[in-house]
A and B are shown apart, each in its own frame.
Chain A
Amino acid sequence: MKQMFYLLIFLISTIATSACVDLTDGSLITQSILLCSNTYDIPNGIFIKTSNIELDCNTAILRGVNGQGTGIRVEDADNVTLRNCHILTFDQGLLFKNVTNSLVEDNGFLKNRIGIRLLESYENTIRENNDKSHQLAVSAVSSKFNIVMLGNKNIDRAFCEVNACNRLRDMQVCESGDFYCSRRCSPASDSDCGTVENETGAMEEFAQTPIATALVSKEVQSSASVSQNTQIPPSKKRTIPLPIKIIIYVVAYAIGLVIVKKK
């Protein structure tokens, strides 16, 4: 009876934690969610304005109408993760506006005019995404220190001068005079973070400063003497190599065989 009780607890917890969410058009995502693996027709897209959340589309398809609108619009947020989404037939598949330190991985962008668009966004990592857009795979305006690595093509555009395209490279995040203060920088290493004497006040003042649009023309020095190295958050996906899987199966069968023989 006691064993049955434990089994029941396991069953309930399994079902409870595996729940997924269905999407509605124009919805605002305010917490981490796992979408149900369906096709969603959402001409108005979805919105994210909350920091520190994860949207796992679970291979769901987000579909626009006649190439209009934006699929996923992320605005004024930090540390947002988007993965396993298939975004089709929008004007812009994904729009990052004033977004920092976020991760976009394992997504597919198909038949959009622009796959991913970055506006005033910094230190984001875009990797292992496949793109088949009509006009541009990635567009970046006033955005720096992003890592852009698509899974199916290389990018060779002007913004690659201030962002890392196709491969990792060291970027001098703590660059004075670019109106951007990374959280990895201090007033001592980046004058944009304020002065050493009045750090808190200067940071508050900086937060209200509009980011200059001329940033895109500035080149980041990728010298070996960089003080900060770019770090990519680890991928969540875990895989077991096929030979190991086969060994596991064989060992499990052998154990079963021994048990049956003993009985």
Chain B
Amino acid sequence: MKEVNWKDLAMPLAIIPYVFFGIYLFENGLNLVAGMLGFVLLCIAIGVAVMVRG
């Protein structure tokens, strides 16, 4: 039986905040909270992209 790597299961959870942001944006439109959340998520995305590319 193949061993389950917990990282493989945990990594996709990173997408959850972005889905939450999308739903929040759809429901409430652009406002201060959405702007701040979008900014934070964008910073994280850029940081991860830079780290991966190395």
Contacts and interface: CB of A to CB of B under 8 A. Distances in A.
A20 B12 contact: no
A72 B39 CA distance: 34
Specify the main secondary structure of chain A where it touches its partner: helix
Contact of A18 (B9, B15, B16, B34): B34
B31 A20 contact: yes
B51 interface: no
A117 to B, nearest CB: 30
B1 interface: no
B8 interface: yes
A256 B39 contact: no
Given A18-B34, A18-B35, A257-B9, A252 B16 contact: yes
A255 interface: yes
Interface string B12-39: 1111101100010011011110111011
A20 B38 CA distance: 16
Contact of B23 (A14, A20, A248): A248
Interface stretch (A108-116, A144-152, A158-166, A237-245): A237-245
Given A240-B26, A261-B8, A253 B39 contact: no
Contacts of A257: 8-9, 12
Nearest to B18: A252
Specify the main secondary structure of chain B where it touches its partner: helix
A186 interface: no
What class of interface size applies to chain A in its complex with B? 20 to 34
What class of interface size applies to chain B in its complex with A? 20 to 34
B49 to A, nearest CB: 8
Contact of A253 (B16, B27, B42): B16
A35 to B, nearest CB: 10
Given A255-B15, A256-B14, A11 B42 contact: yes
Interface string A6-41: 010011001101111000000000000010110000
A259 interface: yes
A260 interface: yes
A256 B31 contact: no
B48 interface: no
B27 A237 contact: yes
B44 interface: no
B39 A15 contact: yes
A252 B19 contact: yes
Contacts of B15: 252-253, 255-256
Interface in A208-254: 236-240, 245, 248-249, 252-254
Sort A-B residue pairs by CB-CB distance and give the 7 closest, nearest first: A256-B12, A18-B35, A256-B15, A252-B19, A257-B12, A17-B30, A260-B11
Interface of A: 4, 7, 10-11, 14-15, 17-20, 34, 36-37, 58, 236-240, 245, 248-249, 252-257, 259-261
Interface of B: 8-9, 11-16, 18-19, 23, 26-27, 29-32, 34-36, 38-39, 42, 46
